[in-house]
Amino acid sequence: MRILTVLVTYNEASNIERLIPAIRQHLPTSSILVVDDSSPDGTADIVRTLQASDARIELMSRPAKRGYGAAAIAGMRYGIRNGFDVIVTLDADFSHDPADLPRLVDALSRAEVSIGSRYIGGIRVLNWEVRRLLLSLAANRCVRLLSGLTSVDCTSGFRAYRVDALKKVAFDRISSTGYAFLPELLFAMGRIRVEEVPICYTERRVGQSKMGNRVIVEAMLRSWVLLYRRVGRWLRGGTPSA
């Protein structure tokens, strides 16, 4: 099974040099693709240095910052095009623990997508303000209600995908640029088996967070677009979402 770990980065020079070896430690068979939107802090230069001693590290340097969703799609298309069987995504700031990667990949023996879930079976989030936690919980509830998705943590970016399932997605029809891309992708995949793996999410300690309140609100607003598509799917006699 060929595994590709995709890291979307922007100004992650303070984390990327430690994160890539951590991924290699816990998921040693995985190739790693860093999709960097021309970070001014030299993130890409650090990746190039690591590439010199590890042929399984790839860098996709994009000319401008165009959002998490577009970068993630670029990474997924790379994985599909190059014959990988599994694509894993996680944030580049250590908010997702690389030690959980094997559990996500193992869950694909029972599902087509596995999600590192902050909320399945309880709440496991560290170093968030109460307001932000409540907003995140409300966003997930809103997404589930309007889109019909059944996953408890629809907005988690810590995931593993079977490439066969991703091949069915019309990426050109996904319009979210930020983290609202995450529930939209689940919706676009249609009826699939999803398994949520309990993880502990820890807010970054180094660098600037990109998951602010504005991003969470965007996910809530985009849910109305998914409701519109859900109704259209129902009228056409299509299958509900996962």
Can you read off the two tokens belonging to residue 103? Answer: 């559990």
Q: Looking at the structure, give the CATH architecture of the domain made up of residues 3-125+152-211.
A: Alpha-Beta Complex (3.90)
Which pLDDT score is estimated for 240?
Answer: 52
Which pLDDT score is estimated for 151?
Answer: 95
Given a cut of 80, whether residue 225 has pLDDT beyond it is no
What confidence tens digit (pLDDT) does each residue in 126-145 have?
A: 999 999 899 889 989 989 99
Query: How buried is 190 (Cβ within 10 angstroms: 0-12 exposed, 13-18 middle, 19+ buried)?
Result: middle
CB 114 within 8 A of CB 195: yes
- pTM for the full model? 0.90
Please report which confidence band the pLDDT of residue 238 belongs to, taking 50, 70 and 90 as the band edges.
low
Element (H, E) at 183: helix 181-188
- d(CA 197, CA 27) in angstroms, rounded, equals 17
Can you read off the two tokens belonging to residue 164? Answer: 């066969």
Please report which confidence band the pLDDT of residue 105 belongs to, taking 50, 70 and 90 as the band edges.
very high
- d(CA 100, CA 151) in angstroms, rounded, equals 19
Percent of the chain past pLDDT 70, that is, above it, reads 92
* Strand pairing class (159-162; 113-117): antiparallel
Given a cut of 70, whether residue 216 has pLDDT beyond it is no
Structural domain boundaries in the chain: 3-125+152-211
What confidence tens digit (pLDDT) does each residue in 46-95 have?
A: 999 999 999 999 999 998 777 899 999 999 999 999 999 999 999 999 99
Given a cut of 70, whether residue 36 has pLDDT beyond it is yes
Which pLDDT score is estimated for 232?
Answer: 80
What confidence tens digit (pLDDT) does each residue in 87-96 have?
A: 999 999 999 9
Given a cut of 70, whether residue 164 has pLDDT beyond it is yes
**202: Cα separation from own chain's centroid:** 16
Given a cut of 70, whether residue 206 has pLDDT beyond it is no
Quick one: CA dihedral 182, 204, 61, 33, positive or negative? negative
Given a cut of 80, whether residue 237 has pLDDT beyond it is no
Quick one: CA dihedral 39, 41, 43, 48, positive or negative? positive
43: β partners:
none
- d(CA 77, CA 15) in angstroms, rounded, equals 25
CB 222 within 8 A of CB 180: yes
What confidence tens digit (pLDDT) does each residue in 3-22 have?
A: 999 999 999 999 999 999 99
Average pLDDT over residues 119-129: 94
